[in-house]
Amino acid sequence: MNRSGPATGVVDEACDAALARTNEAREFGGRHELPRDQLAIRATALREPHVQAITVRIRRPALPGGLTQMDVVWAEISQSPALTIELASLTTVILLLIRVPLAWWLARSKTFAGEAVATLIALPLVLPPTALGFCVLVLLGPHGPGGVLASFWGERTLAFTFAGIVVGSVLSGLPLVVQPIRNAFVAIGDFPLETTGRVSRLYAFIAITAPLARLEFVKAAVVGFSNTIGTFGVVMMIGGNIPGRTKVLSAYVVDYVQASRWREASVVAGGMVMFAFATIFTLALIDRHCARRGT
């Protein structure tokens, strides 16, 4: 079979593309280029002349300068941890400001409206993250409330911005922080308010009810922060996965898997597993502390 036809051109293009991808710029205190003789490419055209398909196998070259796999991963995701922590911290602060009054109102409300609001808050627990992200994306778009809000500072939309993924993260984490505090307020009941006599209800809440539920506040904050660290679907739909702006740490696992970079995916996923373990262990210690003190 004549190998000088279209199949040869396809093979050459595949080789050039593989070489270009391997020689992408990475900053390790200097720019390291990988020579062509380190790139092993074997392209085999199928024997059928009517099928223009090839198989390209690439052996990843050794890392230059004694670099480790963790060095490569850290160089690629160097901006993402700071962005992820900033997102989780801001989301947790916002949740702290709105969860207590919201949980207090839901705990004391006996109306149909209260149950309807509680149902809306709990929707992220059962909705697929992509579906929730799409709904929020529409609301933050140029034709939604987010577009009207963004127009005040000269923008058209809150979608694909850091502010947009903050909104999505707050909505995603709201049921995880509101429901435990609501349950704590329900368990405490109205007794602290009824025994304070002429003291204002606000003072009774701050002096009695809030301290009784303080450990639930801490647990809710830990869960909210950790949930934001691991959020991907909602952030991807709203933020568009833009490096340096909206691309969080969890997105790299998906990117590495899609690129068949299993080692890098294992490093990032392993780090997130350890963080999740630390979170659950912390919550277990808090529960144990509560059991010892009888609170």
Instruction: Compare 10 and 154 and report the one with higher pLDDT.
Output: 154
| pLDDT (tens digit per residue) in 117-134 | 999 999 998 988 889 999
- Lowest mean pLDDT segment, chosen from 27-31, 61-65, 69-73, 102-106: 27-31
Which 3 state secondary structure label does DSSP give 111? coil
Residue 200 neighbours by CB distance under 10 Å: 10
The pLDDT value recorded for residue 197 is 57
Q: How far apart are CA 168 and CA 289, in angstroms?
A: 33
**Contact criterion met (CB below 8 Å) for 45 and 54:** yes
Q: How far apart are CA 217 and CA 223, in angstroms?
A: 10
Helix (H) / strand (E) containing 57: strand 54-59
**Contact criterion met (CB below 8 Å) for 90 and 97:** no
How far, in whole angstroms, is CA 138 from its chain's centroid?
19
The pLDDT value recorded for residue 21 is 46
Length of the chain: 295
- Lowest mean pLDDT segment, chosen from 44-53, 194-203, 255-264: 44-53
| C-alpha dihedral, 12 to 17 to 23 to 25, nearest 10° | 150
Q: Tell me whether residue 51 is exposed, middle or buried, using C-beta atoms within 10 angstroms of its C-beta: 0 to 12, 13 to 18, 19 or more.
A: exposed
The pLDDT value recorded for residue 274 is 93
- Lowest mean pLDDT segment, chosen from 15-24, 143-152, 254-263, 264-273: 15-24
**Contact criterion met (CB below 8 Å) for 52 and 7:** yes
Tokens of 231: 């959020």
**Contact criterion met (CB below 8 Å) for 10 and 4:** no
pLDDT band at 33 (very low <50, low <70, confident <90, very high): very low
Tokens of 145: 């409330």
Residue 223 CB contacts under 8 Å (≥ 6 apart), including other chains: 173, 176, 177, 180, 279, 283
Across the range 26-55, mean pLDDT stands at 40
- pTM for the model stands at 0.69
| pLDDT (tens digit per residue) in 130-146 | 899 999 999 998 888 88
pLDDT band at 195 (very low <50, low <70, confident <90, very high): low
Q: How far apart are CA 184 and CA 187, in angstroms?
A: 5
CATH classification code of 75-293:
1.10.3720.10
